[in-house]
Amino acid sequence: MSHTMVFGGVLMDFVPAGDAWQARPGGSAWNVALGLAALGEGVAFAGSLGSDPFAERLSALGEAAGLDMTSASRVDAPTALSVVHKGVDDQPSRYAFYAQGGADSAFAGVSTNAWVDAHAAYFGGVTLLREPAAPAFLDCAQEAAWRGLTVLYDPNFRPTYAEEGRRALWAYLPHTTHLKVSHEDILGLLPGQTVEDGVTALRRAHPRMHVLLTLGAAGARLFTPQGEWHHPGYAVTVADTVGAGDACAAGWLAGTLAGPDVAPAQALQFALACGALACTRPGAHAPTMDEVEQFLHAQS
């Protein structure tokens, strides 16, 4: 069965819950893996898990969600932690990472057999930037491109890793067929440029690349070699925005992989529906195909 390989990290997000903090599984790659699985895609998670109780829970959750965990190595290290500080007045959430020596940064690659029947690969999140795993993840991106896979890269800019993120952007782009970026990503990754100029520079450097630019409540724009599309997004009651970008990335990739009959505008619409639904529940909610279809039907 064809499947998507999802490369990156899994950690525990600590999110505000009244006067306390609630621990929830997180990490861009993990969220995308669960998002794709919820949409009915075959998914293999390629990352590194630790040896603590958090890792045991994550492994069980992955298997329960239908993820192929054979490429998820286990190492003697703690699970990385992230504390989520929710944004106010439509500002994005901020993240504080406690990841020094974390298991996610111990990734060393995958076996040749892991690539059998893979038709796409996703790379995203700050785990791609941390040593000693960074070169191994980049090698896998190069391998995915060499094998002709659809490769979606989401840089997920975080100020804590600003310089590493800027270097990684240009290292990954030659291997990328589909780039998903937010307007905050562009401003952080390409300082001194406007969002419009930044997208133009990226497309000029890699003209065959598809670029999904998300604009928060203003929707998104999709750029391909065949044209440009804009969608205003969907108005929903927001519980929080944690994981919304990851749900959008999963939706875009799932829509793209659905076949050549899916028009770019349809894939864009589907991606934004996934992102909108993720905002309606606390934490990184992964909407199912039924939920997305019902949501889109209600919008028509």
The arithmetic mean of pLDDT across residues 2-29, rounded, is: 90
pLDDT above 90: residue 90: no
The arithmetic mean of pLDDT across residues 179-194, rounded, is: 97
- Band (pLDDT 50/70/90 cuts) for residue 18 is confident
- Band (pLDDT 50/70/90 cuts) for residue 91 is low
- Do residues 106 and 115 make contact, with C-beta atoms less than 8 angstroms apart? no
- Band (pLDDT 50/70/90 cuts) for residue 23 is confident
pLDDT above 80: residue 85: no
Tell me what pLDDT residue 88 has.
66
The mean-pLDDT minimum among 178-182, 220-224, 258-262 falls in 258-262
The arithmetic mean of pLDDT across residues 68-95, rounded, is: 83
Report the mean per-residue pLDDT for the chain.
93
- Do residues 136 and 71 make contact, with C-beta atoms less than 8 angstroms apart? no
DSSP the chain: --EEEEES--EEEEEEETTEEEEEEE-HHHHHHHHHHHTT--EEEESEE-SSHHHHHHHHHHHHTT-B-TT-EE-SSPPPEEEEE--STTPPPEEEEE-TT-GGGG-----GGGGTTEEEEEEESGGGGSTTTHHHHHHHHHHHHHTT-EEEEE----GGGHHHHHHHHHHHGGG-SEEEEEHHHHHHHSTTS-HHHHHHHHHHHSTT-EEEEE-GGG-EEEEETTEEEEE-------S--TTHHHHHHHHHHHHHHT-TTS-HHHHHHHHHHHHHHHTTSSSS----HHHHHHHHHHH-
Q: How many CB atoms lie within 10 A of CB 147?
A: 12
- Band (pLDDT 50/70/90 cuts) for residue 92 is low
pLDDT above 90: residue 151: yes
The arithmetic mean of pLDDT across residues 198-222, rounded, is: 96
Query: CA 219 to CA 96: how far, in whole Å?
Result: 27
- Band (pLDDT 50/70/90 cuts) for residue 98 is confident
Query: CA 166 to CA 157: how far, in whole Å?
Result: 8
Query: CA 108 to CA 49: how far, in whole Å?
Result: 12
pLDDT in tens, 254-279: 999 988 888 999 999 999 999 999 99
Provide the CATH number for the domain around residue 84.
Answer: 3.40.1190.20
pLDDT above 80: residue 43: yes
Question: How many structural domains is the chain composed of?
Answer: 1
pTM (2 d.p.): 0.94
pLDDT in tens, 278-298: 998 877 789 999 999 999 999
Tell me what pLDDT residue 199 has.
97
- Band (pLDDT 50/70/90 cuts) for residue 22 is confident
Residue type, 53: P
Q: What is the domain range of residue 115?
A: 3-299
